[in-house]
Chain A
Amino acid sequence: MRTYRSLGELSLLSLAIALPWLLQALGEDYYIGFATRLLIYALAATSLNFVVGYGGMVAFGHAAFFGGGAYLVALLMTGGLISAWASWPLTMFIVALLAWAIGAISLRTRGVYFIMITLAFAQMIYYSVISLKIAGGDDGLPIDQRSNLFPFDLANDNVLYWLALGLLALSLLLLKRLSHSRYGHALAGIRQNETRMEALGYPVQQLKLVCFVIGAALAALAGALLVNQNGMAGPGQLYWTQSGMLLVMVILGGVGQRYGGVLGAFVLLGLEEVLAQVTEHNHLYIGLILLAVVLYAPRGLAGLFCKSR
């Protein structure tokens, strides 16, 4: 069973690696940008799924970290820091610090209050950024070149695609290892019974905070990819609708399912793309599909395929 699954994962990965060449052979190069976008959102949704599904924290402000990563990379580039080797880790570090502060305050609350306070923080960041002149205000912040990841040339769309694929694969591997590790078991315990965990001597709040911060740092990494893909950081990436969309992806794909974020991002963005070609009311249909998933597949699309994570 396990080997079959690994085989399946490997063949999917090989197919994904070969995709740029396949598209070239078919003369559909345009889609490589779309495929990259899928991977980036899959990474962002996976990072949120880590917080929501593994850490049990329904965070409604993930756009702050995803969009924040995009803005920081763009800002650093405006300031002359073009090397991805320097600016991306720095961006992840700054976002991690920000998440640490936001998380330390927000984790004093729970349930609906946690949802509201994370939303409030994210909106504060949104309004702060659009009022900043150096961040381009309402217009966003364009970048005139992609980050420099010497010796790899990110200006090449295929290379950016492979990079996004590699980072997504690494994150999924981390999630897989993590869910069987001591930390993963501790998080599972926290999801089931916080009182018992605290009474066993676990510093529950700190363990959750670590999860929140890791999720934010991964989202920042996705943001760094996004700004390179889009050529700009825009206010929409920080807005609450972005947080909402990532949450929809996670719920659609499967909360706490390892591939939940990936499936959710692929299906949601894929549907948007397909439906937009045939109808103006694509959001209506997406809403209906989400409704159906919530009602009939509460463990998400990933839950339909596998028994557990």
Chain B
Amino acid sequence: MTPLLTIRNLKRHFGGLWATRDVSLEIQRGEIHALIGPNGAGKTTLIHLISGGLFPDEGQLLFDGRDVTKKTMHDRVALGIARSFQITQIFPKIAALENVRLAVQAQQRDWGSSLRMWRPASADFLMIEEAEDWLGRVGLAEHAGTHAADLSHGEQRALELAMTLATRPRLLLLDEPLAGMGPEESERMTQLIASLRGEQTVLLVEHDMDMVFRVADRISVLVAGHITATGTPEAIRVDPAVKRAYLGEDIA
């Protein structure tokens, strides 16, 4: 079977800085694939390139065999590539449930769904029920009515994950889901992401190595805009080049 995502010789520079030098990578269907690397290695740039937040200077992105290199972000979401952000992106002034409902509404792509101007959105019970399900999935059921701005940081991260899941992606891109979280919140999020195994293909950028080695099926190491190694957690753990470049003595 073809990989879900094929990245071919992707390049992107900012002025004189090559954030992505020459990245080729395949994401297999159903796997949780972690992308690790030191700060400034170009991990977030790569997520931007895959999600459509940035466009590459060279190279090609094939999603399910289809060239999406030039597609806009919202077109890619429609095809099934959805992402979370390193800095939480939610709608602070509305209730948590309403945040997710907007995601469900986006996913209903029958013609003009979001151009309906007369009928109250609150009349769509199915849409609201679906949003409630996703909130429950990330453990926020009792916060449905809470303004997103009043949620804790960890809850906001979970809310963003619920919104991203509610677009029903076929490829989920998570940019540092544990960023800024305390130990308890991290543990909850890690379990949540681990629970996606088997039902969801995930590309995950994360600095927390314990988490990465717990949830990932495969790991790729990005150093200075290059993929230096790809393999199972066991293989990456003992890879001498990786150890040298990134992991440090304590893991080795």
Contacts of B101 in A (CB 8 A): 185
Q: Could you tell me the distance between the alpha carbons of A180 and B101 in the complex, rounded to whole angstroms?
A: 13
Q: Which residue of B lies closest to A196 (CB)?
A: B89
Q: Does A273 contact B (CB under 8 A)?
A: no
Q: Does A294 contact B (CB under 8 A)?
A: no
8 Å CB contacts to A: which residues of B71-123?
72-74, 77-78, 82-83, 85, 89-94, 98, 101-103, 105-107, 109, 113-122
Contacts of B91 in A (CB 8 A): 188-189, 192-193, 196
Q: Could you tell me the distance between the alpha carbons of A178 and B120 in the complex, rounded to whole angstroms?
A: 8
The reply to whether A185 and B74 contact each other, CB–CB distance below 8 Å, is no
The reply to whether A183 and B85 contact each other, CB–CB distance below 8 Å, is no
The reply to whether A201 and B118 contact each other, CB–CB distance below 8 Å, is no
The reply to whether A184 and B74 contact each other, CB–CB distance below 8 Å, is no
Partner-binding segment picked from A8-16, A62-70, A110-118, A203-211: A203-211
Q: Does B230 contact A (CB under 8 A)?
A: no
**Known contacts A183-B114, A201-B74, A203-B74; is A188 also within 8 Å of B94 by CB?**
yes
The reply to whether B85 and A180 contact each other, CB–CB distance below 8 Å, is no
Contacts of A188 in B (CB 8 A): 91, 94
The reply to whether A182 and B85 contact each other, CB–CB distance below 8 Å, is no
The reply to whether A199 and B114 contact each other, CB–CB distance below 8 Å, is no
Q: Could you tell me the distance between the alpha carbons of A200 and B164 in the complex, rounded to whole angstroms?
A: 7
**Cβ distance A103 to chain B, nearest Cβ, rounded Å:** 15
Among the listed B113, B118, B124, which residue makes an inter-chain contact with A177, where contact means beta carbons less than 8 Å apart? B118
Q: Does B167 contact A (CB under 8 A)?
A: yes
Q: Does B69 contact A (CB under 8 A)?
A: no
Contacts of B120 in A (CB 8 A): 177, 180-181
The reply to whether A192 and B117 contact each other, CB–CB distance below 8 Å, is no
The reply to whether B85 and A207 contact each other, CB–CB distance below 8 Å, is no
Q: Could you tell me the distance between the alpha carbons of A197 and B85 in the complex, rounded to whole angstroms?
A: 12
Among A197, A207, A210, max chain B CB count under 10 A is at: A197
The reply to whether B82 and A201 contact each other, CB–CB distance below 8 Å, is yes
Task: Tell me how many residue pairs across A and B have CB atoms closer than 8 Å.
Answer: 94
8 Å CB contacts to B: which residues of A191-229?
192-193, 195-204, 207, 210
Contacts of A192 in B (CB 8 A): 91-94
**Cβ distance B177 to chain A, nearest Cβ, rounded Å:** 15
Contacts of A189 in B (CB 8 A): 91, 102
Q: Could you tell me the distance between the alpha carbons of A135 and B78 in the complex, rounded to whole angstroms?
A: 47
Among B78, B90, B106, B120, max chain A CB count under 10 A is at: B106
Contacts of B90 in A (CB 8 A): 193, 196
Contacts of A199 in B (CB 8 A): 51, 53, 73, 77, 82-83, 85, 89, 164
Among the listed A182, A200, A207, which residue makes an inter-chain contact with B77, where contact means beta carbons less than 8 Å apart? A200
**Known contacts A192-B93, A198-B73; is A182 also within 8 Å of B83 by CB?**
no
Q: Could you tell me the distance between the alpha carbons of A196 and B148 in the complex, rounded to whole angstroms?
A: 14
Q: Could you tell me the distance between the alpha carbons of A211 and B6 in the complex, rounded to whole angstroms?
A: 38
The reply to whether A181 and B73 contact each other, CB–CB distance below 8 Å, is no
**Cβ distance A208 to chain B, nearest Cβ, rounded Å:** 12
- A interface vs B, CB < 8 Å? 174, 177-178, 180-186, 188-189, 192-193, 195-204, 207, 210
- B interface vs A, CB < 8 Å? 51, 53, 72-74, 77-78, 82-83, 85, 89-94, 98, 101-103, 105-107, 109, 113-122, 124, 163-164, 167
